Amino acid sequence: DKAIVDAVRKVQENKRRRKRRQASSSFDCTSLESLGQSVLSLSISDLEGLSTDDFKNCLLNLGEIDDWAGDQLKALYEQFEQAVVDVCKASEADLSDMGTVAYAMPVDTIGCLENLSEDVMAYLGELSMWTPEQLVALAKRFLEKNNIVSSSSLTSIQMVTMGHALCGLAPSEIANLDIDEFSDVTAYVGSLQWCPQEQLKALKERAESVYDSATEWKSYHFLELGILLGGMSGDDLKQVSTDSIDGWTQTGIKHITPANFKELKVSQIQSFSKDQARAVTADMAEELNDDQWVALQQAQSGGDGSDADTNRNDDGSDDAAAITASMLLLTLMIAMLHM
């Protein structure tokens, strides 16, 4: 990727030299578009040196990149500030185009956006990597700008429009969502990619008003409600049947807290598919006891534990056992040498 970036930089530098004009960056919008994902290899100086016109022309493309480093996002957001002059008054078009560049937007700036319309919210709501504080600011500002006094007034369309910003509502506001409107969008809510724990719990409880207790949900319920699995308590989780566990999604599993995940029975973990087992994070695995951990390893490998990929270092017991065995072997070898 770096080689591609360097090659494009050289071509652009030669082109500009031939035209006998100075430029603070070696890239223009056309060359940025040609880089694709390799644009992630651009240096901070490259991003800072983009002309205002090139930045604005390429904002839509830049905003489609998901894996910017923090300092790159900061540089891009500063370019956005220069381009629009006053972010609080940025146009709907500019706000809609900025995409992932918005991740660098300060909370107080989100709170002053003048043009956070439903159309803009639909674009920003698709983004999933907001901080909890940014989500709260987005939800609050959206309600303000659209004259929504109470969350109970939100329509199903507005809930979908909010997207991940729905996870910026306070738990009490989620509990107040109109049940008929909410029931129309449970599948969409379940498809969200990230949501803070307290909001997940509140959304799960709201979904129980539609589908009864989560402990009774069938596999097709879990498939539809996806991420809401992460809002279940440990007591709830250990009551779910192995047949229903078949519907647990990878995103939902990743959102189970380690403290709740450790409440699962060995038989439940044994029922995991390979993909489900491999969705378990290292932090979750660290909380398991020996029997649970063996069951997870077997599930990850499809049954025999030969190619499991989650390591556990909860109390160092597994590493300690290996070290102890090595020390005993070394001691025996030294003793034999002195015989």
> Which DSSP symbol is given to 232?
-
User: d(Cα 96, Cα 153) in Å, to the nearest integer?
Assistant: 25
What pLDDT shows up at residue 329?
40
pTM for the model: 0.81
Q: What are the CA-CA distances from residue 254 to residues 177, 227, 245, 261 (Å)?
A: 26, 8, 14, 10
More confident residue, 309 or 244: 244
pLDDT-derived band of residue 307, with 50, 70 and 90 as boundaries? low
> Which DSSP symbol is given to 66?
S
What pLDDT shows up at residue 30?
85
What pLDDT shows up at residue 34?
87
More confident residue, 11 or 129: 129
What pLDDT shows up at residue 33?
85
User: d(Cα 113, Cα 109) in Å, to the nearest integer?
Assistant: 7
CA-nearest of 237, 232, 180 to 210 is: 180
Residue 209 clears pLDDT 80, i.e. is over it = yes
Residue 21 clears pLDDT 80, i.e. is over it = no
Residue 280 clears pLDDT 90, i.e. is over it = yes
Mean pLDDT, rounded, of the chain: 86
More confident residue, 158 or 34: 158
- Work out the number of other CB atoms within 10 angstroms of the CB of residue 288: 23
* Strands, E assignment, the chain: none
The answer to whether residues 73 and 42 touch, using CB atoms and an 8 Å cutoff, is no
* Mean pLDDT value across residues 195-217: 97
User: d(Cα 102, Cα 96) in Å, to the nearest integer?
Assistant: 10
Instruction: Please classify residue 45 by burial: count the beta carbons closer than 10 Å to its beta carbon, then call 0-12 exposed, 13-18 middle and 19+ buried.
Output: exposed
* Mean pLDDT value across residues 320-335: 39
pLDDT tens digit sequence for 49-90: 899 999 999 999 999 999 999 999 999 999 999 999 999 999
What pLDDT shows up at residue 311?
59
pLDDT-derived band of residue 140, with 50, 70 and 90 as boundaries? very high
* Mean pLDDT value across residues 131-153: 97
User: d(Cα 118, Cα 311) in Å, to the nearest integer?
Assistant: 44
* Mean pLDDT value across residues 257-286: 97
More confident residue, 10 or 308: 308
Instruction: Please classify residue 306 by burial: count the beta carbons closer than 10 Å to its beta carbon, then call 0-12 exposed, 13-18 middle and 19+ buried.
Output: exposed
Q: What are the CA-CA distances from residue 154 to residues 89, 143, 160 (Å)?
A: 25, 9, 10
Q: Write b or e for each residue in 87-125: b if 16 or more Cβ atoms lie within 10 A of its Cβ, otherwise e.
A: beebeeebbbbbbbbbbbbeeebbeebebbbeebbebbb
Residue 18 clears pLDDT 60, i.e. is over it = no
The answer to whether residues 127 and 161 touch, using CB atoms and an 8 Å cutoff, is no
Identify the helix (H) or strand (E) that includes residue 281: none
Weakest mean pLDDT among 118-127, 216-225, 317-326 = 317-326
What pLDDT shows up at residue 14?
46
Q: What are the CA-CA distances from residue 235 to residues 66, 183, 222, 238, 259 (Å)?
A: 36, 25, 17, 6, 11
